[in-house]
Amino acid sequence: MYSQGLIGADGRTDEAPEFLEAFQKRIDAEEKIEPMDAMPEGYRRTLIRQIGQHAHSEIVGMLPEGNWITRAPSLKRKAALLAKVQDEGGHGLYLYAAAETLGVSRDQMTEELLSGKAKYSSIFNYPTLSWADIGTIGWLVDGAAIMNQIPLCRCSFGPYARAMIRVCKEESFHQRQGYEIVMTLARGTPEQKAMAQDSLNRWWWPSLMMFGPHDAESQHSDQNMKWKIKRFSNDELRQKFIDATVPQAQFLGLSVPDPDLTWNEEKGGYDHGPIDWDEFWRVVKGGGVMNRDRIEARQKAWDDGAWVREAALAHAEKRRARKLAAE
Ligand code: FAQ
């Protein structure tokens, strides 16, 4: 992925201090930065890294749920799931387009994903073992995505912020359809309720990991908050997610798989048990159950789509030549 390198992010930069100060003033005044505006190289690279990772996550994120379209238990469930998976594909496309305005091509971003240089969200390296997982993904994974993305609607970079508004509206529908699936199971037979509980047990901790490492370990947070790309830290968003989600689990009569989870009256939120960061980094670095399958599936889609890209280019070239000839 695009590392922030030596420019900007760590304070070392070749760019004039007056330029960086003037840019920071625009950020502090809550002005939106647009693609043709002058921007520090570190800001541009950070956005390419984050938006690229986000786009890859949406596209790879279609795979775990896509796996269940043919096995959805009714026509209604199939139609809703199909629409959801298509929405995620749309989100990936807006995000690739937003990143392209920063001077990176979609081909470059795809190459970085396929070569393992670019990351995508750790959550999509877990398998979907039962129908309940489809409900749980909508409830928890889309729920976590919304918690992270609502503040991104106020991101300082205009195209990213604007893309997030529509994305959040759609994610909000996804979250509700997921919760409704889990509610149906939780109110069903004892076997169905057990299936919902087993799914919550498997997805709870990976969902908390979606917010990224603890603040003390988060290498990009400080600079990203200064540039108003991020508005809240990883831990702040994780806490908001836990506080919103635990009552939803209680309402369903399901238990959150964390024996240390306790309400802390003083802070007005839940205290939680330790997150297994070894597991997080193992999954991020390619050692999760599904990492290999996910990249193989993306590689196959890229290879199978080569003729479409070639045909589109040939068609565009023909049109251009025809237009030139007519001039
Ligand atoms: N997985 O310094 P920080 C969705 C990496 S969309 C993998 O804290 P930052 C919708 C991070 O990239 C889900 N890698 O980084 C959906 C960095 O590595 P790098 C995706 C992770 O950028 C639902 C390193 O660790 N959402 O779910 C993860 O300040 C259902 C150090 O971390 C977004 O991408 C992780 N979980 O904060 C789709 C939202 N966490 O790049 C289908 C936008 C951290 O230097 C179905 N992104 N890393 O090599 C963000 O808000 C931020 O990038 C964070 C990370 C919060 C993810």
pLDDT at 5 over 60: no
* CB within 8 Å of 264: residues ≥ 6 apart: 270, 271
User: Can you give the pLDDT at residue 148?
Assistant: 97
Q: What value does the mean pLDDT take over residues 108-114?
A: 96
Confirm if 62 and 85 have CB atoms less than 8 A apart.
Answer: yes
Instruction: For residue 1, give the ligand 1 atom closest to its CA.
Output: 49
Which ligand 1 atom sits nearest the alpha carbon of residue 234? 56
- Residue 123 has a pLDDT of 98
Percentage, residues of the chain above pLDDT 70: 96
The DSSP letter of residue 271 is: E
Q: Is residue 207 lining ligand 1, measured as CB closer than 6 Å?
A: no
Closest CA to 210 of 141, 157, 130, 113: 141
pLDDT tens, position by position, 37-48: 999 999 999 999
Centre of ligand 1 to C-alpha 293, Å, is 20
Residue nearest to atom 48 of ligand 1 (CA): 212
CA of 70 to the centre of ligand 1 (A): 30
In sequence order, the 6+-apart residues with CB closer than 8 A to the CB of 36 are: none
Residue 71 has pLDDT above 90, yes or no: yes
Find out whether the beta carbon of 245 lies less than 6 Å from any atom of ligand 1. no
User: CB–CB of 181/111 below 8 Å?
Assistant: no
Q: How far is the CA of 302 from the centre of ligand 1 (A)?
A: 23
Q: Cβ(233) to ligand 1 under 6 A?
A: no
Q: What is d(CA 13, CA 5) in angstroms, rounded to the nearest whole number?
A: 10
Interval 290-318: pLDDT, tens: 999 999 999 999 999 999 999 999 999 99
Q: How far is the CA of 51 from the centre of ligand 1 (A)?
A: 9
Is 6 a residue whose pLDDT tops 90?
no
Give the pLDDT band (50/70/90) at residue 4. Answer: very low
At residue 13 the predicted structure's pLDDT band, cuts being 50, 70 and 90, is low
C-beta 112 within 6 A of ligand 1: no
- The percent of residues in the chain predicted with pLDDT above 90, rounded, is 95
pLDDT of 8 higher than 60:
no
Distance in angstroms (rounded) separating the CA atoms of residues 282 and 32: 37
Mean pLDDT (the chain) is 95
Residue bearing the CA closest to ligand 1, atom 36: 210
Residue 2 has pLDDT above 60, yes or no: no
Measured between alpha carbons, how far is 289 from 125 in angstroms, rounded to an integer? 6
Mean pLDDT of 8-24: 78
Q: What is the pLDDT of residues 120-145, one digit of tens each?
A: 999 999 999 999 999 999 999 999 99
| Tens of pLDDT, residues 210-219 | 999 999 999 9
Per-residue pLDDT reduced to its tens digit, 229-278: 999 999 999 999 999 999 999 999 999 999 999 999 999 999 999 999 99
Task: Indicate whether residue 1 lines ligand 1 (CB < 6 A).
Answer: yes
CB of 46 shorter than 6 A to ligand 1: no
pLDDT band at 327 (very low <50, low <70, confident <90, very high): confident
Q: Residue with the nearest Cα to atom 32 of ligand 1?
A: 218
- Tell me how far the alpha carbon of residue 212 lies from the centroid of ligand 1, in angstroms: 6
For residue 157, what pLDDT is reported? 98
C-beta of 128 in contact with ligand 1 (< 6 A): no
Beta carbon of 145 within 6 Å of any ligand 1 atom = yes
Region 68-88 average pLDDT: 97
Tokens matching residue 110: 């795809």
223 lines ligand 1 (CB under 6 A): no
Query: pTM of the predicted model, to two decimals?
Result: 0.94
CA dihedral of 259, 262, 151, 201, whole degrees rounded to 10: 20
- Give residue-wise pLDDT tens across range 49-60: 999 999 999 999
